[in-house]
Structure 1
Amino acid sequence: MILTNPAAEDVPLPRDNWQRSSWSKAPLRWQLAIVTAVMVAAAVSVMTIVAYWTVSTSLNRTVDSNLTTTAQSVLTRSEDPEFQKEIHRELAVFKNYNPDIQIQFFPPGAAQGIGDDIVLVVEGQVIRGETSMTLRNQGDERVIAMNNPAGSTVVLSQDLGPTYTLVSSLGMVLLIIAGLGTLMAIAAGMVVSTTGLRPVTRLQRAVEHVTATDSLEPIEVHGRDELAQLTRSFNDMLESLDASRRRQTELVADAGHELKTPLTSLRTNIELLMMVSKSPTPNFSSADLHDLEKDVIAQIDELSTLIGDLVDLAREDAKQGEMELVDLEDTMASSLERVRRRRPDVQFTFERAEWFLKGDSFALGRATVNLMDNAAKWSPPNGVVRLSMEPINEHSIHVKVADSGPGIPNDERSKVFERFYRSVQARSMPGSGLGLSIVKQVIERHNGTIEVRDSDDGGTLMQITLPGGSTPEAGQASARIASR
């Protein structure tokens, strides 16, 4: 017995998982706005802190500098004998000019200071001559003590309240600026995200339109940025899908048309055979019955060939097959052996050459078999089909298949590679009209070309141009060159 906890499904997700889930569900516009606001707020905060610290430090240094300069001025003045006679009057004059500074003066050797009452902490070291200057904070005051070589010491104390008030006001202003900057960052993030995502929204609507209507119309491209490039790539995909759909539609329509005729004829012949088998007194002779059975077998063979060609054509449309290094000479030799077994009444000659290329060995074998079968079909009894491999240069080769048949008229040469096309002469012979179409697709997929010419004895010459090399290494290198 398995025990389960009924409340297990109600256990809340961990907080971090919940936050990630909520963030991933938020609209992209809000995500961009929030990220922009956080980044700007962080930048403003750092700038605010740096500005506050810089100004505060600068003000404190200014206070210290002013106190130091003032103390040196007083000590310099104290070297005048008149100053020693009129110390109280001199200090009073100093207070008139510096009302925010308290002053206490120690003549040389004096233990008691003259002037304001300033609490001394470490200033005794200066008075005793142990050090030349001290600087410290006393509550909200800044206290400096300094002596001179004559032994006089001055202690100054300045109230830092106004400075602290100024720094606090500055901090408040910077804080307000930081808050306003964050709000403006949120607004700017919304504007930027809305403007920046407008092409994405347009692309999304186009995708939804394609999904809803099954229409593959291209999307209008605006600008030259990355989103415009994405739109162009999407349009290329739509164009590829549309071409694939058209090929599929044409293949289905053509296949249905081509299958209808042999199926109708086959059905008629089978119905005749059924009538003959059920009739107690058949009106067919043994010869007629034999011809009918032979005709049924021929129609079944025709259907099998047509279906096989359709499968090959569909496979070639899908561009399946692993690309590998192919020995073209070996491929053609294998195809020749297959065709020879089927057509012992035709002679074949083969001029070989070593050649390698990167490609689909199965597809190339099927294409060469189709070419050889086609040449043998049109050659007369005891005719000769001539095969040759003639390198053009280091990276290209001509593969020629020539027959001794009636040839192909010039006005039909551009049509023989069309699907299901059959000339007037070919309609009386077996075939589906797909063989040469498959050949052309295979050759073009391997970056080659095929053209129809006249053979030396008036027949047809199929000339194929393929890339590659005379060694495996050259074949690999040629494939890399063709892919650039």
Structure 2
Amino acid sequence: MDTFLKKNKKSVVLNLTIIYTSIIIIILLAVIFSMRYFVEIMSIKSYATILKQQIEKVSEPNPIMGRTMGKMMGNILHDTERLKRSIISNRVIILDGIILNDPYGIVDEKIFNLNKAYAAYQKDGIYYIFVKTKIFDNSTLIIGGPSLEYTAVIKTFNSLALNLSLISILVSLLVSYYFAKRSLRPLLDISKEISEINVETLNKRIPEQKFVEFHKLAENINSMLEKIDKGYELQKQFVSDVSHELRTPLTSIIGYIKLIERWGKDEEKIFFESLENIKESSNYLKEMIENLLLLTKTEEEIKFEKINIKEVVEKIISIYKNEGIKINTDLKDLYIETNKDYLSILLKVIIENAIKFTKLNSEDEIFVKINNNSIEIVDKGPGIEKDEIPKIFERFYKSDKSRSVKGFGLGLSIAKKISEKINVKIEIISDMGKGSTFKIKFS
């Protein structure tokens, strides 16, 4: 009954209990009234059949007298004691609209206008059954009287129906509550599971449900929890990344500020040198934070459109024409459904990476090629050890050979995340001392 404890809130279990109970009561009442109707009809019909047989036996014409004599006898018997003694004793008799006998004083307009073969009337708690029939060919006889047997049957049935109705209401309430609670049990279990999930248990999931509707609900909740968990992990990762990566530049900025405070007022060279370093550290922080924020974005709906990959590559290459390095190309038209903005960021990251490590190896050119379903960026850098290739997509990872290269260790992490968003695959082929090939493959 815990579902009733919340004040000012409607209970689904209570509502379902009321609905189920109402349905059960309606069905029971329909059955009871149907049974009462059929019992009433059958009882009246049986009594009426017996009474009619008695009437027909008495009023049957004598074959010797013939049809005409029978009619004459019928007229004579309109007011004879023989008819009364034979069939009308203690009965109401109406012959051709004339009341021959009414010992109970119950004859009214309803009985005079009886248009059925038989009917029952109630007065003072007693049921009277009347039969309408033809006698002597053209006379209409309405005869009836009290039926204690029928009265007893109907009263017994009414009493039984009332008691059954009261019991059925109580039973149906209990049964309805049980089935309402049972039908909502999976929902209550899911609610209980959700109530146990907090920040520390975001990895917990709703168990698989037997019924398809509740299973779909559990799947949707688990999907939502997955997104919340991922967002929370991204938030924690962002805080960790920021605290890890911001410590050095912030320390540098604070150090140069103290240097200016101490000697910058008197030493112009120290002042401008410190100012320049503060500016570089600030730009470093700005760019790094922008990259971190890009990584923390959750999965979102990305609009795809058919674009010419060649145009995107040419635009990105044009950005680096003043980088002091030659970019050789072998480009052809390739139309792919993808997201232009994300693909541009991905290409920018990999080409910048190729330029950076090519310069590190004292080379002056890289190569960009478009194949049937891929883009290849080939650098002449120092190469990557085979066991390090899976690690280069990790945040802040830098191989020992690249420690001296300026960067955050975030570029390839961003490239990997973008590739997953736009459904492309990045493959790396590298030979130590000969350079690396980054292949962007479209599905």
TM range (shorter): 0.7 to 0.9
Structure 2 match to 1:115: 83
Contact 1:398–1:464 (CA under 8 A) maintained in structure 2: yes
Task: Return the letter of the residue paired with 2:166.
Answer: G
Q: Which of 319, 322, 325 is matched with 2:305 structurally?
A: 325
Q: Secondary structure at the match of 1:244?
A: helix
Contact 2:93–2:143 (CA under 8 A) maintained in structure 1: no
More off after superposition, 218-227 vs 398-407: 218-227
Distance across 1 between alignment mates of 2:417 and 2:330: 24
Counterparts of residues 30-429 of structure 1 (less than 5 Å)? 30-72=14-56, 78-79=61-62, 81=64, 107=73, 110=76, 112=78, 114-116=82-84, 117=88, 118-120=92-94, 122=96, 135=117, 137=119, 140-147=128-135, 156-157=143-144, 159-210=146-197, 215-216=201-202, 218=204, 221=207, 224-225=210-211, 226-227=213-214, 230-231=217-218, 233-279=220-266, 282=267, 294-315=276-297, 318-320=298-300, 322-329=302-309, 330-340=311-321, 343-359=323-339, 361-380=340-359, 383-391=364-372, 397-429=373-405
- Residue 200 of structure 1: how far off its partner (Å): 3.6
CA spacing shift, 1:79–1:465, aligned 2, 3 Å: farther
- Residue 428 of structure 1: how far off its partner (Å): 0.8
Distance across 1 between alignment mates of 2:304 and 2:35: 66
Contact 2:324–2:364 (CA under 8 A) maintained in structure 1: no
Structure 1 match to 2:125: none
1:55-111: CA deviation from partner (whole Å, max 9, x where unpaired): 222333333444455555556x64455999xx9xxxxxxxxxxxxxxxxx9835646
- Residue 429 of structure 1: how far off its partner (Å): 1.2
Q: Secondary structure at the match of 1:430?
A: coil
Q: Is 1:451 paired with 2:443?
A: no
Report % sequence identity.
Answer: 19
1:255-288: CA deviation from partner (whole Å, max 9, x where unpaired): 2111111222233234334433223xx4x8x5x8
1:321-345: CA deviation from partner (whole Å, max 9, x where unpaired): 642415152333332333435x253
Q: Secondary structure at the match of 1:40?
A: helix
TM-score when normalising by structure 1: 0.71
Distance across 1 between alignment mates of 2:238 and 2:400: 22
TM-score when normalising by structure 2: 0.77
**Residues paired across the two proteins, number:** 402
Q: Secondary structure at the match of 1:449?
A: strand
Contact 2:93–2:141 (CA under 8 A) maintained in structure 1: no
Contact 2:397–2:409 (CA under 8 A) maintained in structure 1: yes
Contact 1:405–1:459 (CA under 8 A) maintained in structure 2: yes
- Residue 446 of structure 1: how far off its partner (Å): 2.0
1:289-334: CA deviation from partner (whole Å, max 9, x where unpaired): 776555444333322221221122123xx23464241515233333
Q: Secondary structure at the match of 2:367?
A: strand
1:129-180: CA deviation from partner (whole Å, max 9, x where unpaired): xxxx97355852313322466x798775454443243223213312221221
Contact 1:402–1:461 (CA under 8 A) maintained in structure 2: yes
Distance across 2 between alignment mates of 1:334 and 1:320: 26
Q: Secondary structure at the match of 2:321?
A: helix
Distance across 1 between alignment mates of 2:46 and 2:438: 96
Runs of at least 5 residues in structure 2 that lack an aligned partner in the other structure: 1-5, 99-114, 122-127
- Residue 206 of structure 1: how far off its partner (Å): 3.7
1:220-252: CA deviation from partner (whole Å, max 9, x where unpaired): 737523446544554454344333322321221
